[in-house]
Amino acid sequence: MFQHQIKAAASPDWRAFVVAEEWGRFTPADHDTWNRLYCRQVKMLEGKIVSPFMDGLRRLNLQSPGIPKLKELSSRLKLLTEWQLVSVEGIVPDAEFFAMLADRVFPIGNFIRDGEQLDYLEEPDCFHDIFGHVPLLAYQPMARLMEALGHLGVDACAAGQGEAISRLYWHTVEFGLAKERGELRILGAGLASSFGEAEAALHADVPRPRFTIEDAAATAYENDHFQPLYFVSDSLEEATQLLESLTLEKLVALGVG
């Protein structure tokens, strides 16, 4: 029975969640919102985020004003790391989300937040998804890791271990910190795309435990307010190596469910 549960799962079909990009629907006010968010984040993140992130912004030409056209951005990304971007209407369920990652496809919300409330976000918009995630998808170690998390996530969800893999994803890819040349840096997309929480993660009086698979998997997360703690990896490379070495058997043994 146990052996049956942990065999590789069939990949769920994620294609039903993809919608047409319809870039023309974005108004001048939407593009202005993007530009204000972009300028504010880049200025704040300089020297505070892992270096490959800033390299990715430049390599993908993300500094151009306005909400990027997804097809063009996706083509540039594909040339660099074989990842592609698709438009979605909102949150994709875990099993299909991990199946996308396994195919080197990343979902991008087809909307942007209200420009009157730059810091309010009910669910991930295109600024979070593009600015937060795509620069590191252009970095080979992260590109490999995200695909590996996709494969593991598909199998984990099928084996009833979705919570464990979601926690690990959350505490690294979304809200992780990492050391770089001895300095604390932002790693996660949820922090990279949030003005207030990026500062809080680096400077607020909150616990910053060293990242381990065991501790991160044992730590539940909150998705409606700032995190009560931030895991710190010894380096971005260390985080990717630790997570890439994880197997479903090891995940099951953690006993998180």
Say if CB 207 and CB 227 are below 8 A apart. no
Alpha-carbon Rg of the chain, whole angstroms?
A: 18
Min. distance of Cβ 47 from Fe ion in angstroms? Answer: 23
Residue 137 or 189 with smaller CB distance to Fe ion: 189
Q: Report in angstroms the alpha-carbon separations of 5 from 20, 157, 251, 257.
A: 36, 11, 13, 13
User: Which segment (68-76, 154-162, 184-192, 232-240) binds Fe ion by CB under 5 A?
Assistant: 184-192
User: Which segment (13-21, 189-197, 212-220, 235-243) binds Fe ion by CB under 5 A?
Assistant: 189-197
Min. distance of Cβ 193 from Fe ion in angstroms? Answer: 8
Residue 130 or 213 with smaller CB distance to Fe ion: 130
Residue 159 or 211 with smaller CB distance to Fe ion: 211
Residue least distant from Fe ion (Cβ):
189
Min. distance of Cβ 232 from Fe ion in angstroms? Answer: 19
Q: What part of residues 67-96 is at the interface with Fe ion (CB under 5 A)?
A: none
User: Which segment (86-94, 181-189, 203-211, 228-236) binds Fe ion by CB under 5 A?
Assistant: 181-189
User: Which segment (33-41, 79-87, 182-190, 242-250) binds Fe ion by CB under 5 A?
Assistant: 182-190
189 binds Fe ion (CB under 5 A): yes
Residue 8 or 19 with smaller CB distance to Fe ion: 19
159 binds Fe ion (CB under 5 A): no
Residue 189 or 213 with smaller CB distance to Fe ion: 189
Single out the residue of 6, 201, 166, 3 nearest to residue 91, CA to CA. Answer: 166
142 binds Fe ion (CB under 5 A): no
Contact positions vs Fe ion (CB under 5 A): 189
